[in-house]
Chains A and B, each alone.
Chain A
């Protein structure tokens, strides 16, 4: 069974739990005492991932780290529909890769701001918040144009991709980092759609979509 080195309050670990739940893949969560133990920085953990960060998966001896890389692997291996990582469609693969790189930006701004506020990480909070707003503005406008074209997700096509999945946790938890989504209506509608995907699970701080 897949082992996921996991921390309940980590957005990047949540991304893996989300995809595994949506794809209905059983896995074992191996809890890492991220805070206050900083176990991911321990010498023992660095034998698993020398970079000292989570998540990491161990799929029957195959070890992979980096949240967005793991999403690619899990979707490529465990999604028989081939929709979450649309490898058969070069244009959609390109779009997925592009928005996954964009999601590195939201992780490094919106989710970094959350670490500043909640756990007092020594980042420049105002710079993180300003960076997140710059990216949210771009994403909100993109999603607005997608809606005009009858599309619900960041990439073209009728089905969400791992790019949506990589972006969603950074966006939905942004208020914990002091980043309001008040000014991004298309972004808010997209988070509502995302929460209605079959197999969706929450993490602390995220509530399910309201019925209806």
Chain B
């Protein structure tokens, strides 16, 4: 079955259209200027005010990329919000609130976009790679893992009954350089949380504050069924490292993942449990795929028969 896309590749999948989708980091968008990007197979434009309010609209000829614009004067706009560092929009009827990140508002956190990188694969393939610990020693050797310490210790997965979010808890992995500040190897605690079909957060042991967690998010913008942009969200307790140093660390990790993610075929994520053979450490991705099916997601995936 072909994916849920119209003749021009635009998304027709209600479950995806009604979500909030990220378009770009607020800080990286020059204010009062038209920015053009793609979302769900369509060309989408946006602009932000210097105060951080946004307007988003389907791209049209009178407002070309780079033109000056007062975002608040644009007519015929789509729903939009500036939240958690990014401009978000929806091509359907989005919920009033998308998801919450209470930690984001703690005064001692440093919140910033580490990078936005285009990927030649589907959004859920990118999310699933982010969710996988098994590849750490092989792809991120010397940083997030190291042979022979390759074991993924058993962890728990569940769907939260109130928020309908996927959680993987009590994850642990031995990491030689778990963060930009790490000086020695350590057993690191991980909690994964999938809030939306294409948005995932990782809560990770924080070296600077052992009782708290650093947050690393991957908010994926599905530009088409088989292409996406990954926005790497950071909310850290770290007053030592420069932002540049942390960005280099995260960008290195991200770039190591690129050839792995892009070589997974098919590019759309198969949701049929028989399609790809999981192992015990894949319990989180098994639940993720089932949850996508239950939500009725058919875009950027290969639905179960």
Contacts and interface: CB of A to CB of B under 8 A. Distances in A.
Contact of A117 (B118, B244, B256, B259): B118
B252 A204 contact: yes
Contact of B117 (A37, A119, A178): A119
Interface size class of B (residues with CB under 8 A): 20 to 34
A48 to B, nearest CB: 17
Contacts of A205: 255-256, 258-259
Interface string B98-129: 00000000000000010111111000000000
Contacts of A37: 244
Contact of A204 (B119, B229, B255, B262): B255
Interface of A is mostly: loop
B247 interface: yes
Given A9-B251, A204-B252, A204-B255, A36 B244 contact: no
Interface residues of A, number: 18
B292 interface: no
A205 B119 CA distance: 13
A35 B232 CA distance: 13
Given A117-B118, A204-B255, A36 B248 contact: no
Interface string A171-212: 000011010000000000000000000000001110100000
A209 to B, nearest CB: 14
A142 to B, nearest CB: 26
Given A8-B248, A37-B244, A176 B262 contact: yes
A175 B25 CA distance: 26
B28 interface: yes
A60 interface: no
Contacts of B117: 118-119
A176 B247 contact: no
A175 B121 CA distance: 12
Nearest to A9: B255
Interface string A1-28: 0000000110000000000000000000
Given A118-B118, A119-B118, A176 B259 contact: yes
Interface in B195-237: 229
Contact of A33 (B229, B244, B255): B244
Contact of A31 (B27, B113, B244, B259): B244
Contacts of B253: 204
Contacts of B263: 175
15 contacts: A8-B255, A31-B248, A36-B27, A36-B116, A118-B117, A118-B258, A119-B117, A120-B118, A175-B262, A175-B263, A176-B262, A204-B252, A204-B255, A205-B255, A205-B256
Given A8-B252, A31-B248, 9 more contacts: A8-B255, A9-B252, A31-B244, A36-B27, A36-B28, A117-B119, A176-B258, A204-B251, A204-B258
Interface of A: 8-9, 31, 33, 35-37, 117-120, 175-176, 178, 203-205, 207
